[in-house]
Amino acid sequence: MLAPERPRVVELPAAMTVKELADLLGQSPVQVIKELMKNGIIANINQTVDYETAAVVAGDLGYEVREPSPAAEAAEGAAPSAAAAEARPATAEAEDEALLQPRPPVVTVMGHVDHGKTSLLDAIRETKVTAAEAGGITQHIGAYQAEVLYDGERRKITFLDTPGHEAFTTMRARGAQVTDVAVLVVAADDGVMPQTREAIDHARAAGVPLVVAINKIDKPNANPDRVLQQLAEIGVVATQYGGDVEAVPVSARTRQGLDDLLQTILLTADIHVNPRANPDRPAVGTVIEAKLDKSRGPVATVLVQSGTLKVGNIVAVGSVAGRVKALFDYRGKRIKSAGPSTPVEVLGLPAVPQAGDRLQVVADEKTARALAQAHEVAARRQERAEVSLEDVLAQIRAGETRELNVIVKTDVQGSVEPIVGSLERLGEEGVKVKVIHAGTGNITESDVMLASASNAIIIGFNVRAEPGARRLADAQHVDIRFYSVIYELVDDVRKALSGLLGPKFTEVVYGHAEVRQVFKVGRGQAAGCYVTDGTIARNHSVRVLRKGGALFEGRIAALRRFKEDVREVHAGYECGITIEGFNDFEVGDVIESFGKEQV
């Protein structure tokens, strides 16, 4: 087929709606929406797009783009179209500043287990929700609003009642950034713990400002000053120490300091975020949680982020299209509309969407179906995308990113600093390695979720991945690499950055056997084992696990069934195992069989 001698030329204004762009290009709005989706932009038919975005779409459709002449720009500025005046872009950044109004900040609570996240949320709910709820909230929807007297006026704060950085990062991994401020809860009697560090790294990776709530100050052994010092040591410097992070002593049990905490949240939001949105546009929001209710059908809890959601609106929610039949607020009260930063239950969808899915109000059912279909295609494409070292390097070479994000997990604290220091000193042609989280212990599901959300790879040094983390990494296509020599680890990343990395090998776990008896054999030991899953083979490498940690790594010296030497033993059978160089078995140990396979 012969190509045209010259591409069609189109002159684009500085901003236009999707429908206006489609008319200019002689295409259907659905086709333009699909092209926007291919470029990672979800937009409806009445939504405004800027010149750069429109130019990309026009180029993809075979047009040569020209900027508008000054006369055309002046005419456009004098007489904007009715459609453009009615519809607004999805993000507040692209909105007309004059249309933005203050909205309540959205807060997520994080921290170490047992430090009082849930207790703090409950204490705020019980003391600060409106008087109409004195009898308790009739219907829990995963979010609520507290009202505070701040600087002489009554203001609201929206709390997402999904405490923990795992939920926070799961949302981010699905493309939803809904939080304005993260509250880090640290117990005054316990101090900074491993999950405290994790929560800090998750908030930093998301670029969300922190407020520290030093909880349990009513306890006799509470030591808030020690908490401030520990936080300063890991880079979170409170204002009491001359830093910029607000730290507030509180007690969820006695309610002490709750007012100070809420005031501080509003202050932090005003300084760092200045939360505003346009309530007079078609609504855009994010699904916080969703379920199938036996009596009400599919129910989605949605945080409205911009615009106003109304009963009767046609919506696209992820890959689901439908009409809003009923809205309920966090008290279980039926309402007709919900503005920015309002958590609301939505009824009327034909299927259950996923947490993190984006809700958009659109003009008609045809547009809603097209958006839902395009989202499904994009989601399938994303499922196939790998967060592998090779994939990230391809993005670096294409100029899409200038950083290689890395998560480091080591067996002991003493290994963390030399590995992180060595990696951060690496760099090839302006590309740098950024360690977004480093800690000790096995690789967990939380590590994998952070890697997925931050487009990072995970490096394990003398540690293993927990079974749940392995399954999640396979599902999310997150690259995990294991090392036992620091030089090899650093050298691999250096070679990768310079494009010299050889074939990739990944560790594969073949099976596990539980030690049920220990026998003396000559000067050594043999373990009487039961194979709990997979296969134990004579030629496999093995590691001895005790209480979840790796104790020894080596090779099988002998593998027997009764008195016969065998090549392999499958799940459900007993066997005797001796390991080269290891004579310290205990009943309850687990022998993990593994190997390396080239990908």
pLDDT digits (tens, 9 = 90+) for 556-577: 999 999 888 899 999 999 999 9
Where does 320-388 have alpha helices with state H?
365-384
Among positive and negative, which fits the CA dihedral 330, 332, 333, 336?
A: positive
Residue 97 within a domain = no
Do 185 and 324 lie in a common domain? no
- Give the three-class secondary structure for 459: strand
Do 128 and 267 lie in a common domain? yes
Do 521 and 496 lie in a common domain? no
Of the residues 28, 57, 87, which one is the last residue of a structural domain?
87
Of the residues 250, 274, 298, which one is the last residue of a structural domain?
274
Do 244 and 359 lie in a common domain? no
Do 530 and 594 lie in a common domain? yes
Would you say 55 and 13 are in contact if contact means Cβ atoms under 8 Å apart? no
- The closest alpha carbon to 551, from 597, 516, 586, belongs to 586
What is the pLDDT, as a whole number, of residue 599? 61
- Give the three-class secondary structure for 87: coil
Would you say 147 and 133 are in contact if contact means Cβ atoms under 8 Å apart? no
What is the pLDDT, as a whole number, of residue 521? 84
What CATH number did the domain enclosing 592 receive? Answer: 2.40.30.10
Of the residues 476, 502, 528, which one is the last residue of a structural domain?
502
pLDDT under 50 in the chain at which residues?
1-6, 69-93, 130-139, 385, 500-501
Residue 579 within a domain = yes
What is the pLDDT, as a whole number, of residue 5? 45
Residue 1 within a domain = no
**Judging by beta carbons within 10 Å of its beta carbon (0-12, 13-18, 19+), is residue 489 exposed, middle or buried?**
buried
Do 259 and 135 lie in a common domain? yes
Query: What is the percent of the chain with per-residue pLDDT over 70, rounded to a whole number?
Result: 81
Residue 92 within a domain = no
pLDDT tens, residue by residue, 507-520: 888 999 999 999 88
- The closest alpha carbon to 458, from 402, 409, 494, 497, belongs to 409
Residue 561 within a domain = yes
Residue 221 within a domain = yes
C-alpha distances (whole Å) from 311 to each of 26, 103, 315 are 34, 21, 11
- The closest alpha carbon to 360, from 349, 368, 351, belongs to 368
**Judging by beta carbons within 10 Å of its beta carbon (0-12, 13-18, 19+), is residue 133 exposed, middle or buried?**
middle
Virtual torsion, Cα 44, 48, 50, 53, nearest 10 deg? 10
What is the pLDDT, as a whole number, of residue 88? 33
Residue 3 within a domain = no
Would you say 107 and 124 are in contact if contact means Cβ atoms under 8 Å apart? no
Do 498 and 516 lie in a common domain? no
**Domain around 521:** 507-598
Do 136 and 177 lie in a common domain? yes
What is the pLDDT, as a whole number, of residue 429? 52
The whole-angstrom separation of Cα 501 and Cα 308 is 51
**Judging by beta carbons within 10 Å of its beta carbon (0-12, 13-18, 19+), is residue 141 exposed, middle or buried?**
buried
What is the pLDDT, as a whole number, of residue 143? 85
Do 141 and 265 lie in a common domain? yes
Q: Is the full-model pTM beyond 0.85?
A: no
What is the pLDDT, as a whole number, of residue 95? 63
* Domains of the chain: total: 5
The whole-angstrom separation of Cα 309 and Cα 326 is 11
Do 114 and 259 lie in a common domain? yes
Residue 99 within a domain = no
What CATH number did the domain enclosing 119 receive? Answer: 3.40.50.300
What is the pLDDT, as a whole number, of residue 85? 33
Q: What are the two backbone dihedrals, phi and then psi, of residue 238, each rounded to the nearest 5 degrees?
A: -75, 160
Do 377 and 398 lie in a common domain? no
Would you say 90 and 47 are in contact if contact means Cβ atoms under 8 Å apart? yes
What is the pLDDT, as a whole number, of residue 81? 36
Do 269 and 292 lie in a common domain? no
What is the pLDDT, as a whole number, of residue 241? 86
